[in-house]
Structure 1
Amino acid sequence: MSVGPIEIEDPRDERVADFLHLTDVRLRRRLEPERGLYLAESEKVIRRALAAGHSPRAFLMSRKWLDDLADLVEQATATRVPVYVAGEDVIREMTGFHLHRGALASMQRPDLPTLEDVLGGARRVIVLEDIVDHTNVGAVFRSAAALGVDGVLVTPRCADPLYRRSIRVSMGTVFQVPWTRTGTWPADVDTLRRAGFTVAAFALEDDSVSLDDLAADPPDRLALVLGAEGDGLGHRTVAASDLVVRIPMAGGVDSLNVAAASAVAMWALRVGDQLSA
């Protein structure tokens, strides 16, 4: 028997524990992987998560969204996934912010594919080394989806692509681009090389080659490595890579935001048959 929407009046109700303190970044970064969940925010993102085959644990929405999301509510209640409904003040106290994007879904965090699975058949991959800003991570994934990148690798200290802000900035494209965490880094540069990839590190080095030159005759399989927002790539990563690349710039500017730099590089080195006209 299906169960209809469940009214929540107490923002500390244990049934909505998945949705508490969403603005506490330090807490959520630890809690969500421990509980095996992530949060999807907004109707579009939730639908993309479901379309990717991810399993919902619970939904939370204000009452005014019940009609607009009626098909999601019906499907959830038919499969006994709880749909919690509360007033806007209760939701704000519960989550820490005003929910104006329709709904939140607590989703079961999927198992990550192996590195070999992500690399198999790929021609273009992006490696994010220790990028800690969730907004930048989400923006890279959105560009990767739009520009035909086959996979994204994130190093062990990189921000979580399934953190709520990363997912929101990516517009849910994090669910469609294959990705995984590297086991050890930069040791996995050798794994990339054994898989047939040329490893290109983006850094300001004296012996770097221009992105224009690389794009003129790119290798068939290419891994683009981008570094943290402040320090850039580690010296060991640069030394282990096959070549170092720089983006030509004017105006006395020596570098771009990592998300912008990744988009420029992905566009310049795109594989043409992966993009529509």
Structure 2
Amino acid sequence: MAVLVPIEDPADPRLADYRDLRDVELRKHLEGEHGLFLAEGEKVVRRAVEAGHAPRSFLMAPRWLDGLADVLDRSDAPCYVLEERLAEQVTGFHVHRGALASLHRPPLRSLDEVLDGARSVLVLEDLVDHTNVGAVFRSGAALGFDAVLLAPRCADPLYRRSIKVGMGAVFTMAWTRLPDWHDALPDLSSRGFTTVALTLADDAVGIEEAVAGLDRVALVLGSEGHGLSSRWEQSADRRAIIPMAEGIDSLNVAAASAVACWVTARR
């Protein structure tokens, strides 16, 4: 059972895992160095622990203790209890969901392990917005995709904001980073996947036509600004568009992923 530790000083060194949560660069350095990630909110904290991630500690306002009592009962990690005004001084924002957990970051899984038995996967190239990465994970999970593969420069799906937007989908979906950016799509093709790139290329066909009848599909999505690199666009097996009303040529990548996942799931 977690030990409840009342905290009255926001500078207490035991709260180091939770400091300056709005500073993205600082958090990336701290979380990478110490092998941790954060979960925010009762539902997300619960999903992280139920998925098997081991807590380092919890930080909660007193009113959230009862709602997460069963989670705390199953953990030996300390639970730091402090008033919400003090929690705001530690984290740098109002923790309106009242609960945070610091958890041990799992080792990155191998590509072979993640693709074992998979039929539908999402492949993300250089998405740098944590909100978009979380939303893509959520769409993939909701529509029955098996895995997500990330290019080396993609945002961290275990960053607090990604996890929160994705409602913990990263805990249930298999995922990893691609070891080789240049030949990532040809490698997927050699593994039996048909790679379908979402792009405005001249030879792109409607997404329904592009995925019709396919057994194993890898949907490929590009960065928020420039979309896919020319290398990935050209090395994909097929290129597809989402048909839209005249005058509109694209959607936000998170919205596009939801539409493409829905169409692909119905193939």
* Structure-2-length-normalised TM-score: 0.96
- The whole-number CA distance in structure 2 between the counterparts of 1:118 and 1:105 is 26
Where do 1:1-16 residues align within 5 Å? 4-16=3-15
Tell me how far 1:102 sits from its aligned partner: 2.7
| Residue 116 of structure 2: aligned partner | 120
Displacement of 1:50: 1.1
Instruction: Identify the residue that residue 50 of structure 1 maps to in structure 2.
Output: 49
1:83 correspondence with 2:79: yes
AA aligned opposite 2:208: D
Aligned partners of 2:213, 2:30: CA distance in 1, in Å? 42
For 2:200 and 2:132, locate their aligned partners in 1 and report how far apart those are by CA, in whole Å. 20
Other-structure match for 1:228: 223
Counterpart amino acid of residue 263 in structure 1: A
Alignment gaps of 5+ in structure 1 = 273-277
State the shift of 1:22 in Å: 0.6
Residues 101-149 of structure 1 show CA distances to partners (whole Å, capped at 9, x for unaligned) of: 1310001011121111111111110001000111111111111111000
Aligned AA (1:6): V
Q: Which amino acid is the alignment partner of residue 224 of structure 2? A: E
Contact 1:119 1:195 in 2 (8 A): no
Q: Measure, in 1, the Cα distance between the counterparts of 2:126 and 2:58.
A: 32
The equivalent residue for 2:164 is: 168
Q: 1:117 to 1:256 in 2, by over 3 A?
A: same
How is 1:99-114 mapped onto 2 (pairs within 5 angstroms)? 99-114=95-110
C-alpha separation in 1, matches of 2:30 and 2:183: 29
Q: How big is each residue's C-alpha offset from its partner over 1:61-110, in whole Å with a ceiling of 9 and x where there is no partner?
A: 0122222222223333xx2x111011112110000111111310001011
| 1:9-158 → structure 2 map (5 Å cutoff) | 9-76=8-75, 79=76, 81-158=77-154
Of 228, 242, 256, the residue aligned with 1:247 is: 242
Is the partner of 2:94 in helix, strand or coil? coil
For residues 32 and 236 of structure 1, what CA distance do their matches in structure 2 show? 32
Evaluate the alpha carbon distance shift between residue 168 and residue 3 of structure 1 in structure 2; reply closer, same or farther with a 3 A threshold: closer
Q: Percent identity?
A: 56
Deviation of 1:190 (Å): 2.2
Q: Is the 8 A contact 1:186 1:240 kept in 2?
A: no
Letter of the 2:90 partner, please give it. M
Secondary structure of 1:98's partner? coil
Give the whole-Å Cα distance in 1 for the aligned partners of 2:266 and 2:117. 13
Shift of 1:191: 1.8
Indicate the SS of the match to 1:269.
helix
**Among candidates 181, 184, 205, match of residue 180 of structure 2:** 184
Aligned CA-pair RMSD:
1.3
Per-residue Cα deviation, 1:28-53 (whole angstroms, up to 9, x for no partner):
12221221100000111011111111
CA distance in 1, matches of 2:220, 2:3: 48
**Who is 1:275 aligned against?**
none
TM-score (norm 1): 0.93
Helix, strand or coil for the counterpart of 1:200?
A: strand
Alpha-carbon distance between aligned partners in 2 of 1:218 and 1:51, rounded to the nearest angstrom: 36
| Residues 197-244 of structure 1: per-residue CA shift (max 9 Å, x gap) | 1111111111111113124x2321111110001100000111111111
